Amino acid sequence: MDKKKLRNDIILIASLLLVATISLVVLFLTRNTKDFIAKIYVENNIVEKVDLSSKEDGDYYIDGLKGKLHIRRHNHAIAVIESNCPHQDCVHMGYVKSAGTPIICAYNAVSIVIDGTSLNDVEI
């Protein structure tokens, strides 16, 4: 009877893994990135809206309070590539694609906030 119970347990685990895998594939294929926008603010004023639903690369140059920032869109993500700020925290953040993670350059009073639902925001 132990072999039959083991076999049933294996079938149950395999079935659960199959259902989970199919659910994740459906979730990834049907996610809506249509409203996936990064808003770039200078002193709390929107100066640029960047569509992150596009996979195309794009470069943006934003005049901050004390200098210019080079911002790049790449593969549904956005990053500050170059800034004149002393600590370079905004540059070290790298590419961000989650709506819950803003990029802030306090020295230049520039912030980048992602609106919309990204893949990282899905709760399972």
Report the CATH number at residue 89. Answer: 2.60.320.10
55: domain range? Answer: 37-121
> Are residue 61 and residue 89 in the same domain, yes or no?
yes
* Predicted local confidence at residue 39, as pLDDT: 92
- Dig out the tokens for 118 from the structure: 């990204």
Which residues, in sequence order, are CB contacts of 122 under 8 Å at separation 6+? Answer: 27, 31
**DSSP state letter for 122:** -
Question: What is the distance between the alpha carbons of residues 47 and 41, in angstroms, rounded to a whole number?
Answer: 6
* Predicted local confidence at residue 9, as pLDDT: 87
> Are residue 84 and residue 102 in the same domain, yes or no?
yes
Q: pTM here? A: 0.65
> Are residue 49 and residue 107 in the same domain, yes or no?
yes
The parts of the chain modelled with pLDDT lower than 50 are 118-124
Q: How many domains does the chain have?
A: 2
* Predicted local confidence at residue 81, as pLDDT: 94
Contact 113, 102 (CB under 8 A): yes
> Are residue 114 and residue 84 in the same domain, yes or no?
yes
> Are residue 11 and residue 70 in the same domain, yes or no?
no
> Are residue 22 and residue 66 in the same domain, yes or no?
no
Instruction: Single out the residue of 103, 106, 100 nearest to residue 118, CA to CA.
Output: 100
* Predicted local confidence at residue 29, as pLDDT: 67
